[in-house]
Structure 1
Amino acid sequence: MLISHDREKLIEIVKFFAQQTKWLGKTKLFKLLYFLDFTHFRETGRSVTGMDYFAWKMGPVPVELFQEIEAPGDEWSGQVSFESIPVQRGTMLKVDALSDFDSTHFSKRELRIMQALADQFKNSVADDMVEATHLENLPWHKVFEVEGRKQALIPYSMSLLQQDQELMGDVINDRAEMLSAIRA
């Protein structure tokens, strides 16, 4: 039986980024999660959190988590706090870890990607993160700007290079042909 620890991993990832980066708010968190999931998908064919991301104006947003942190459930209690604080341009939802990060359910690859992202964006603010996700040819840009599909789902397959997408298509077609031959 395959056991998924997506929920526990999500909470631990939020704690990790809260402990390893500065100025972690909702926008920065969403972008770090997006980079983690899409980088891991590009390398392995699966995301880390299992969340879907949508192309909103300010970049990729995991809508389920966006809605959830407005009123976090009991599983967040004692793990992570979400607090509105005043900032120069209004308010910010500040994310803090309330307990230590637990790496139990993570692979070495997942931990490596998380650490690389934390190092790269340690001192970044929300505006830097928005800019990083809006770069030309990245999945958000393709969906939101090129295709004009505002608030649409960003397919994980867009994280693959064009030649990788073609290779995956060839593999799927080869398997389909093989299955057809076996059934015949």
Structure 2
Amino acid sequence: MKFLIAAALLCALPVSHAMSASLKAPEGDVVLTITGDIQNTNKAHTATFDLAMLQALAGRQAIMETPWTNGATEFDGPYLKAILEAAGAHGKTLRIKALNDYSADVPIGDATDYETILAVKMNGKPMSVRDKGPLFMIYPFDKNHELYNEKYFSRSVWQIKEIEVVD
């Protein structure tokens, strides 16, 4: 009888609580904070990542030309989709915020429909704040030339510090 009561209580838990998980705490300096509609946290309703955590996620390396660099430039970083999955993000819009408080609202589909990355390296070197780091949102301009326009340029935030997941 006690088992049946315990099972009934477990079934009554809200789904979001039952499916939530915690992330490993960052061991290094936090370079990215994700807030908003997320399920997986490691600090008071937020998901924080250090560089090692981001580099452990699935990602890609790509060589492309951008309006912000000279000639062909190599970018390396985790897929934005992988970062959002790690945080358990659910929403329709990502408000991507830079260190200087610039922000861009990006449809979450840009993470799921394209191989968008948050670059942590440029030409094989970690990106400093001076060189658009520590994180730079890079669309797959090398694979999809239709993205090479002002709409996606304005969403290509650099010096990223935070992503707010908005419904």
Give me the TM-score of the superposition, normalised by structure 2: 0.25
Determine which structure has greater relative contact order: mean sequence separation of CA pairs < 8 Å that are 6+ residues apart, divided by chain length: 1
Where is the helix percentage greater, Structure 1 or Structure 2?
1
Give me the TM-score of the superposition, normalised by structure 1: 0.23
